[in-house]
């Protein structure tokens, strides 16, 4: 799990700082249903948090520094692409 890669105490710290936690979580979300076939055509995407993430599909698919481990998991409210690293907005 990506959160397990964070330095010890990071998750506990985030749980005490709800605005920062919300910013990080919404940085992982893009509006709309964007399937892997669409993602590989993009160079970037704007997140719900408001910042852009970089997309590189030259060798697998990377979102910023995270690798997409499992794409296109259907959910009731969209589609999930599992990544191996927590994305941290600037």
pLDDT digits (tens, 9 = 90+) for 71-82: 999 999 899 999
Residues 4-57 have pLDDT tens digits of 888 899 889 999 999 999 999 999 999 999 999 999 999 999 999 999 999 999
Backbone angles phi, psi at 58, to 5 degrees: -75, -30
Q: What confidence score (pLDDT) does residue 2 get?
A: 83
1 pLDDT exceeds 70?
no
Residue 83 and residue 2 in contact, taking contact as beta carbons nearer than 8 Å: yes
Q: What confidence score (pLDDT) does residue 3 get?
A: 80
Q: What confidence score (pLDDT) does residue 50 get?
A: 97
Give the strand order in the sheet containing 52-56: 44-46, 52-56, 62-63, 66-75, 78-83
For residue 80, what are its two tokens? 């999930």
Q: How far apart are CA 15 and CA 26, in angstroms?
A: 15
Q: What are 75's strand-pairing partners?
A: 78
């Amino acid at each position: 799990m990506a959160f397990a890669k964070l330095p010890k105490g990071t998750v506990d710290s985030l749980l005490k700082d709800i605005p920062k936690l919300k910013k990080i979580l919404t940085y992982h979300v893009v509006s709309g249903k964007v399937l892997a076939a669409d993602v590989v055509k993009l160079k970037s995407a704007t997140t719900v948090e408001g910042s852009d993430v970089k997309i590189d599909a030259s060798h697998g698919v990377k979102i910023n520094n995270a690798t997409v481990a499992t794409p296109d998991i259907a959910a009731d409210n969209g589609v999930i692409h599992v990544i191996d690293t927590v994305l941290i907005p600037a």
